[in-house]
Structure 1
Amino acid sequence: MEPDAAGLLGPAQVRELATRLGVRPTKQWGQNFVVDANTVRRIVRLAGVGADDVVVEVGPGLGSLTLALLPQVARVVAVEVDPVLAGALPGTVASLAPSYADRLEVRHEDALAVTELGEPAPTALVANLPYNVSVPVVLSFLERFPSIDRVLVMVQLEVAERLAAAPGSKVYGVPSLKAAWWTDVRLAGTVGRTVFWPAPNVDSGLVSLVRHPPPETSATREEVFAAVDAAFAQRRKTLRAALAGWAGSAERAELALRAAGVDPRTRGEQLDVAAFARVAAARRDLPAPG
């Protein structure tokens, strides 16, 4: 299996490796393997990672992005749920990038169940994420691993646009707000279908997330997220109506909204995460019902 000049996988190498391993991409795990070396170089460049970074990569697959990351960073922790792919990745790296093999650690785990990633702690998440778990992976890693200060992920374009959406946008919603609790989010680029095997039936987007301090509030993150979830569970309703169950009644919802400086006739899609934090804090300060 001959790589390209930089030791990266091209279309022929990806198919040859998959055939040798008996791997057929599965919808169950959302597998679409990158076969374009320029795309993985672009991801690494946009991630802004360097020699001091410990990168966690979720869903490394056959190793296309892994091979591009290893020469640039101190360590890559690759989390792969597919047992065949997890077992094969160290050998692929040893064959194509032997001088960097000691920088790789492979975890055969479900990314959504990972609770620790060892030391030194990861500083970045860089991944071509399986489409079916992309938002839960991003949000759960931001929550569980505060050492991660940068994220660059390739996801379905629709998901990328939703994560990066601003208040008032038609696609603004729960993922936008929860990602904004931890990070500044932006759409860093788009990716066509032909860089994958098999080619998906949707375009992809690159999302950059850079950690920032959460909003200053007396409410907990869980309380703020509960308000967000309630507001978008009935997206078409005014916040007075949508937050009635969350607050205890429509009247209490209105009191909390007014105390937070929010018009009760507003809908959730108009509020940023700081406003939801104010609403959650105001609800805390309401007198007990009855």
Structure 2
Amino acid sequence: MILSELKHLWNEVCFRPNKKLGQNFLIDKNIRDKIINAIPLTAETILVEVGPGFGVMTIPLSQKCREILAVEKDSRIYEIMEPIFSKYSNIKIIKNDILETDFYSEFPRRGQEKVLLFGNIPYYITTPLLEKAILSRNLIKAVYLVMQKEVAERITAKPGSKSYGALTCYLQFFTKPKRLFSISKNCFYPSPDVESSLLELEILAEPSYFTMSEEIMFSVIKKAFNERRKKIINSLGDKQCLGIEKNRWARIFEECAIDMNLRAEDLSLKNYADISNKAVGEK
């Protein structure tokens, strides 16, 4: 829908966007088509859409895939769109918060087939939604999200950059992320305060690196980035991360051939996997 069409519908049903829900609706048809073309849809694709809104993406997407499950939190939108979506045999809308949705019971599946997850999401749910998707990764083939450009840059960041952090490591351990293109804030109504990007996260069949304990590795990463301005030996050793003394951390770095004077953002994900595997043997 272009803006005039959207406003006409809103006037008919007395709807106003809810700022608390982070509602910014896509109004640019060119960007709509660009997003649709970027998602690898086939006649067998099962797509889960987060926040279908007024069907700007949902209806054209339904013409390119087998089935869409649209999860809508706003009861006002659900009541408006449920009778419209019911006219399409392959669109099902449920009223729920995606963060509270049981993916295992709600996601439509055919045997071992995995779904694609898509959404133009409220920016404030980006991290918890991605964490939930990772926890349900055996159900999901890939994730395509329109999100804040800055967050997309963090997720795809490389070691040595200021954007590189704990979220980067967590998601790159389980997925192969790729920022597909930027989207101007003028493509939405109401216009958000920031620019957006479409991000693709391909779920990996196996984590990107071997680790003896994911829990330990992510504890090390979290501790390192909580004090990212410190040298890595100090951020891990001063308070005995994992109960390991500083001199033992120094030995771990030496055995892994990693400079202990680097900072958290300078270590690659493989570096963190290597030192964590050594740390398992020290506990």
Q: Judge conservation of contact 1:157–1:190 (CA < 8 Å) in 2.
A: yes
Unaligned 5+ segments in structure 2 are none
SS in 1 for 2:198: strand
State whether residues 57 and 76 of structure 1, in contact with CA within 8 Å, keep that contact through their aligned partners in structure 2. yes
1:223 aligned onto 2:219: no
AA paired with 2:9? L
Alignment partner of 2:138: what SS?
coil
1:237 aligns with 2:237: no
> What is the TM-score when the length of structure 1 is the normalising length?
0.87
- Which residue identity lines up with residue 253 of structure 1 in the other structure? W
| CA offset digits 1:239-261 (Å, max 9, x no partner) | 11212342323333333333333
SS in 1 for 2:217: helix
Aligned residue-pair number:
274
1:204 is aligned to 196
- Alignment-mate amino acid for residue 163 of structure 2: V
Contact 1:46 1:152 in 2 (8 A): no
1:257/1:106 CA distance change after superposition, 3 Å? farther
User: What residue number does 1:115 align with?
Assistant: 102
Shift of 1:113: 2.1
CA contact (8 A) 2:213 2:280 kept: no
Q: Is the 8 A contact 1:43 1:152 kept in 2?
A: no
Alignment of 1:1-290 (within 5 A): 9-94=1-86, 98=87, 101-116=88-103, 117-120=106-109, 122-212=114-204, 213-244=206-237, 245=239, 246-248=241-243, 249-286=245-282, 288=283
Write the letter of the residue equivalent to 1:224: M
Aligned to 1:4: none
Whole-Å separation in 2 of the counterparts to 1:107 and 1:227? 39
For the aligned residue pairs, the C-alpha RMSD in angstroms reads 1.9
| AA partner of residue 277 (structure 1) | A
Aligned-partner Cα distance in 2 for 1:218–1:26: 43
The AA in structure 1 aligned to 2:210 is T
Structure 2 distance, partners of 1:250, 1:189, is 44
| Offset of residue 166 of structure 1 | 1.1
Note the C-alpha offset of 1:13. 2.2
Give the conservation status (yes or no) of the 8 Å contact 2:137–2:203: no
AA at the equivalent of 1:114: T
Q: CA distance change for structure 1 residues 221 and 92 in 2, over 3 Å: closer, same or farther? A: farther
**C-alpha separation between the residues in 1 aligned to 2:221 and 2:92?**
37
Q: Runs (4+) of structure 1 moved beyond 6 Å?
A: none
Structure-2 separation of matches of 1:57 and 1:195: 19
Q: Secondary structure at the match of 2:230?
A: coil
Following TM superposition, by how much is the alpha carbon of 1:64 offset from its aligned partner in structure 2, in angstroms?
1.3
Shift of 1:122: 4.4
Tell me how far 1:57 sits from its aligned partner: 1.2
State the Cα distance separating 1:223 from its structure 2 match.
2.4
Whole-angstrom distance in 2 between the partners of 1:224 and 1:68: 42
Larger deviation: 106-115 or 157-166?
Answer: 106-115
CA 1:218–1:201: 2 relative to 1, 3 Å: closer
Paired with 1:202 and 1:263, the residues of 2 have a C-alpha distance of: 37
Distance 1:191 1:72 in 2: 23
Residue type of the partner of 1:247?
L
- For 1:190 and 1:234, locate their aligned partners in 2 and report how far apart those are by CA, in whole Å: 31
Structure 1 unmatched ranges of 5 or more: 1-8
Cα shift at 1:75: 1.2
**In 1: Cα distance, 2:226 partner to 2:5 partner:** 46
Percent of pairs identical after alignment? 26
More moved, 76-85 vs 191-200: 76-85
Distance 2:116 2:270 in 1: 25
Q: Secondary structure at the match of 1:28?
A: helix
Deviates more, 1:213-222 or 1:52-61: 213-222
